[in-house]
A and B are shown apart, each in its own frame.
Chain A
Amino acid sequence: MSETSPAIRLTDLHFSYGKGPKILDVPSLEVKAGEKVFLFGPSGSGKTTLLGVLAGVLGGYSGRVEVLGRDIAKLSGSQRDAFRGSHLGYIFQLFNLIPYLSVMENITLPCRLSAERRGRLNGVSLEQAAHGVAKRLGIDELLTKRVTNLSVGQQQRVAAARSLLGAPELIIADEPTSSLDYDHRERFLELLFESCKAAGATLLFVSHDRSLMHLFDRQLSLPAINKAGT
């Protein structure tokens, strides 16, 4: 990917589940590399579906979807999986972690799945790198704990650490703060911004909580760009 190419570029995206109603109809969307974008919209406006398309998990759309300069429709299924594993960090709203793995194992899992992502650790061992990210997010004391013993706020920080480790270029966060209280929300976002900045990553942050939108570089209303359902 060249320096100037956008992190995300959508052109004439149309998507529906099977033969169901059209969920997405986005004529155009562009997110610059390194940008922190706040994407909002009410429930059912197609936020998570859009993220699924961007992550290459949902196929069967028409139009052009370029992520990090790559037309993901041209990638095979396994190439898409590998691409997602090595270039994307994903944070869910809730239940982000594999319940049977320790904090450390959860954080390192994407790097263990993707050799390319592991290769971006710059010679630092996986454990050391994980420790570094965890320290920045204030969860380095929890590394050996079972994830089921953590508070929701701690779990979300573990998820953030996992999405950041191995310097993926694009972080997609699907309402990661909705289960946190106000203080934790602010703190979590600060840490997330700091880490994205340090890694030079683009952040696509999805939420319906508009009180957070002023913290971002750009705010996008999905209903405004999505013609489906209007």
Chain B
Amino acid sequence: MLVLSLAYQSLKNRVLTTTLTVISIGLSIALLIGVENVRVGARESFANTISQTDLIVGARGGSLQLLLYSVFRIGAATNNITYQTYEHWKNHPAVAWTIPYSLGDSHRGFRVVGTDENFYTHYRYRRDRSITFESGRLPQDVFEVALGSDVARTLGYKTGDKVVITHGVATAAGRGILDHGDKPFTVSGVLKKTATPVDRSLYIQLEGISAVHIDWTDGAPPMPGEEVPAAKITKQTMKIDQITSFLLRSKSRIDTLRLQREISTYSEEPLQAIIPGLTLQELWRTIGYAEDALTVVTFFVIIVGLLGMLVSLYTSLNERRREMAILRAIGAGPVKIISLLVLESFLLSIAGCVLGVALVYVLSVTFQPIVEQHFGLYVPIQAPTMTGWIYLGAVAVAGLLIGFIPAWKAYRNTLSDGLSVRL
């Protein structure tokens, strides 16, 4: 207890170096815990890009490919599935709801997604958030389109504007040669930002996809004079032949695996069903090596912080030789001298840990909403994770161990100095 109180008062006495050392360790701890939280947040956010969807179903192919085009709008499907097949599964007794996606067209680099009302009713991300409108309403007419918030913001569109969609997927720069220019769409509404890939698409009705292709044959535009004018098209007259994929929610989670197997072995059409959570994890493992790099960098920051502490303790030793000689003279043994310095180092690292954790909380509380809105990254505000505690413990122990270096030096000093320190 005496040594603890000595260590505390000694640190208090050197308030400037103590504060600077604690701040330096605190900042490295904040960085370490912060990065850990962001890592957890990123993984969580990524895993929850799509929520409450038990299965994603598409034509047979790669499972990652299905995930990429259905959720992230990256790449394209090799095959479509027939609408009859879709209806079969839609009406399956174990299925709660389905959301059909018809992909393949684009607008100035953004994908156009044909879907139906279920998308607006059932689609969930970040566990339980649903699609809401920033302005306007969902498309009700064949030639109406709802815009993801990034699309509206990037292209400066608002409700009532006309949008011409392009056949196939074109980049933002290279406008498609084959526009569906004869059948422009009207913006009926703009979705609220979700900070998921939902923001980067345009949503029309399944019938809209059929409508723009009604007069096309074998992927080629109609010959002059064979066009079907938009005015003649109504939702009722449109027939949907095929879709690209669909999201599925089963009535009970227990059914999911059975349903997945049933879909994969469907004899009418080669299908595959993936569990998005699992495939997302698989994808995360592939792209997640960046987080390891980040962790490595933060470890170096911690090492620098601890080295700073070592330097400050070590350099203070010379001016403290007199103090050590006094302590020796009044009966403090080497064990007490060593424990004094080790305790000082330990206290510094503990204080650094506390400051670091506090800093992370303050920063998280302050910036969480901003980060979430701008980056779609939900950084959880929570007690340190298991990994976090391990980091904190490791830093405290490292502080303790590092303390032995100046302590040993101080002990050597007292041996050679004896009771005489000529300053």
Give chain A's interface residues, CB within 8 Å of chain B: 17, 48-49, 51-52, 55, 57-58, 77-78, 81-82, 84-86, 88, 90, 92, 95-101, 105, 109-110, 112-114, 117, 162, 174
Contact = CB atoms under 8 A, between A and B. Distances in A.
Contacts of A77: 333-334
8 contacts: A51-B419, A55-B419, A57-B328, A77-B334, A81-B332, A95-B326, A95-B423, A100-B13
A58 B333 CA distance: 13
Interface residues of B, number: 27
B333 A98 contact: no
Contacts of B14: 100
Most buried by A among B327, B330, B332, B334: B330
B419 A162 contact: no
Contacts, number: 76
Given A98-B323, A98-B326, A82 B419 contact: no
Given A52-B418, A57-B418, A99-B13, A113 B331 contact: yes
B9 interface: yes
B13 A82 contact: no
A96 B327 CA distance: 10
A114 B332 CA distance: 9
Nearest to B337: A81
A92 B323 contact: no
Nearest to A84: B331
A90 B419 contact: yes
B9 A100 contact: yes
A101 B9 contact: yes
A92 B326 contact: yes
A113 B332 CA distance: 7
Contacts of A92: 325-326, 329, 419
Contacts of B414: 57
B162 interface: no
Contact of A90 (B330, B334, B423): B330
Contact of A78 (B327, B328, B333, B420): B333
Closest 8 CB pairs of A and B: A85-B331, A100-B13, A81-B333, A52-B418, A90-B329, A48-B420, A110-B330, A100-B9
B376 to A, nearest CB: 51
Contacts of B10: 100
Contacts of B386: none
B331 A82 contact: yes
Given A95-B322, A100-B12, A100-B13, A109 B419 contact: no
Given A99-B13, A100-B9, A100-B13, A114 B331 contact: yes
Contacts of A95: 322, 326, 423
A82 B333 contact: yes
Contacts of B420: 48-49, 52
Contacts of A90: 329-330, 419
Contact of A57 (B9, B13, B336, B419): B419
Interface in B1-36: 2, 6, 9-10, 12-14
B383 interface: no
Contacts of B327: 98
Contacts of A174: 419
A129 B198 CA distance: 79
A112 B2 contact: yes
Contact of B419 (A52, A81, A86, A110): A52
B335 interface: yes
Contacts of B336: 113
Contacts of A85: 330-332
B411 to A, nearest CB: 11
A95 B6 CA distance: 18
Interface in B303-331: 322-323, 325-331
B18 to A, nearest CB: 11
Most buried by A among B2, B6, B414: B6
A119 B257 CA distance: 78
Contacts of A96: 326
